[in-house]
Structure 1
């Protein structure tokens, strides 16, 4: 069984222009980091021309389906019946994207089949992580 889930999604960038361009993005989940999800935008979709990856909690993504969540760099909220808004705040500015809620729900369901909610800590390898931290501290 794979330990990774990768799901392409279509994100719509909310900008000042009346047209919201569609940009590719990928949602990513790895059982070895069971509390986190990543959303990656390819270089051609970013102002800097480099791939951008945001890491945030799976719990935030799930809770943001029901109501506004997040107070930091990543915020998630429902928008109408079929969209989810993700806001990414950085010193350079804020990016706001809309994603079909059904795509996010499908992704979350797959992650919960891989690592059920509440059992994330059983998939952590704390001995390995501690060894890496100690090695890097020397």
Structure 2
């Protein structure tokens, strides 16, 4: 595992920020009992080290993004996790799959994901930012300054 230097909280990180992208094939279960394979992009950006983004291609136009805690993904591989719009749990009948439940005011989706693909993605994110060291990557002072100045 890569060594990540320590720093005082609130200062700029003394290391380069990075991103990681990983393609995943998910299976969507429709309300009428059909299944559809959906390609998704899992993204991790060290500028927001607590979050992962799951992006779906929709009818070839744009992306639909779901942003949720990286820790939720870790927990969902081991057991039921999440209480809100994103919930995960291991598949009871197939240890190679994980159930993913997404819900919004516009609808809900039940999907399965390959446990191996999710684990590989998390392994890559952990090489960038080890679990538990996320606060070291958050530049609190500059975030507050940007917020107060009205910058995006």
Same fold (TM over 0.5): yes
**1:90 partnered with 2:104:** yes
Post-superposition offset of 1:42: 1.2
Structure with the greater alpha carbon radius of gyration:
2
Q: Quick one: which of 41, 49, 71 aligns to 1:26?
A: 41
Aligned length: 134
- Structure 1 segments unaligned to the other structure (5+ residues): none
Ranked by relative contact order (alpha carbons within 8 Å, sequence separation 6 or more), the top structure is 2
Report SS of the residue matched to 1:75. strand
Q: How does 1:7-86 map to 2 (within 5 A)?
A: 7-44=22-59, 50-79=62-91, 80-86=94-100
> Normalising by the residue count of structure 1, what TM-score does the alignment of the two structures yield?
0.90
Q: Distance in 1 between matches of 2:116 and 2:32?
A: 26
Post-superposition offset of 1:22: 0.5
- Structure 2 segments unaligned to the other structure (5+ residues): 1-15
Give the match for residue 4 of structure 1.
Answer: 19
Post-superposition offset of 1:19: 3.3
Question: Alpha carbon RMSD of aligned pairs, Å?
Answer: 1.7
The list of structure 1 runs, each at least 4 consecutive aligned residues, that deviate by more than 2 angstroms after superposition, is 16-19
> Normalising by the residue count of structure 2, what TM-score does the alignment of the two structures yield?
0.82
